[in-house]
Amino acid sequence: ENQVTIVCIHLRISGRGRRGRLGEFVPPVNRTQQEIETARATALDDLKDPLARNANLADDQPATDLARSAGEGRENWIVMIGVCTHLGCVPLGQAGDYGGWFCPCHGSHYDTAGRVRKGPAPENLAIPNFAFVSDTVVRIG
Ligand code: FES
């Protein structure tokens, strides 16, 4: 299954999709094995922001690919708030120097785990509270 339905409890957007723009949300992204492996191969020392920024984990959790994903067994899924951490533009998916997201406003590049790699953005793309309530439904918020 490469799509999930999103159910947002506190937030105003719902939708479905692999990548795209839905207001504040990048829909959950079903990453390819290549995208996962590329992110896993990145040394944590190479990251601009070393923290996972994942609301489901402790604040000091490092930004490993697993910590950025939906967790063990769901490493292919990544759920993020689609707001650039610089000044709040909406990054474009499957774009930029690292094959993840690119913010066209001032040129921030995020990798396939949504971690900022280049440009003025100070933090990785934020991961909201979410839970898979089934294999095909994600509750956000
Ligand atoms: Fe994204 Fe400035 S708002 S780079």
Q: Give the model confidence (pLDDT) of 3-60 as tens digits.
A: 666 655 444 333 334 444 444 555 678 899 999 999 999 999 999 999 999 999 999 9
Nearest atom within ligand 1 for CA of residue 88: 3
∠ CA 53-113-39, nearest 5°, is: 125
pLDDT of residue 11: 41
| CB 126 near ligand 1, within 6 Å | no
| Ligand 1 site, residue 84, Cβ cutoff 6 A | yes
CA separation, residue 141 to residues 68, 77, 81, 100, 138 (Å): 17, 17, 11, 24, 10
Find out whether 82 and 70 touch, Cβ atoms under 8 Å.
Answer: no
Nearest to residue 82, comparing CAs of 26, 7, 139? 26
Residue nearest to atom 4 of ligand 1 (CA): 106
Q: CA nearest 48: which of 97, 95, 90, 94? A: 97
Asked if the model's pLDDT at residue 120 lies above 80, the reply is yes
Global pTM reads 0.86
Q: Which residues are catalytic?
A: 106
Is 120's C-beta closer than 6 angstroms to any atom of ligand 1?
A: yes
